[in-house]
Amino acid sequence: MSDRERRVLESIERELRRTDPRFVRQFARLGKRRITGPSMLLILGLVVMVLGSAIVSVAVAVLGIGIAVVALVAAYYRPLGFKFSGG
């Protein structure tokens, strides 16, 4: 990124912080989260599902689907106040 582009981006960020601090706080919180628990399980399930399809293995694809379903069920029943990281 060039110096000019950096300055323009900084200017946009400053203006956004000035005009809509609530919006900025929402995205600041998102950046601190780590992918763990059901999210990681869902990603693993999708990867295994695609791998099973790529190697034409029904058993591996079904295993991926099973992992993804478990992840979705876990995410559904997870308490809303769950903290993503200890920091």
Number of domains in the chain: 2
Q: Which pLDDT belongs to residue 86?
A: 46
CB distance 12 to 62 below 8 Å = no
Answer whether residue 87 is part of any domain: no
Q: Does 45 lie in the same domain as 76? A: yes
Residue with tokens 């069920």: 73
- Both tokens assigned to 57: 């293995």
The DSSP code sequence of 54-87 is: HTT-HHHHHHHHHHHHHHHHHHHHS-TT--S---
Q: Does 75 lie in the same domain as 38? A: yes
Round to whole Å and give the CA distance between 87 and 72.
25
Q: Which residues contact 9 (CB under 8 A, 6 or more apart)?
A: 1
Q: Does 73 lie in the same domain as 38? A: yes
Tens of pLDDT, residue by residue, the chain (87 residues)? 788 888 988 898 888 888 988 888 877 766 666 666 777 888 888 899 888 888 888 898 889 999 998 888 888 877 554 444 444
Answer whether residue 85 is part of any domain: no
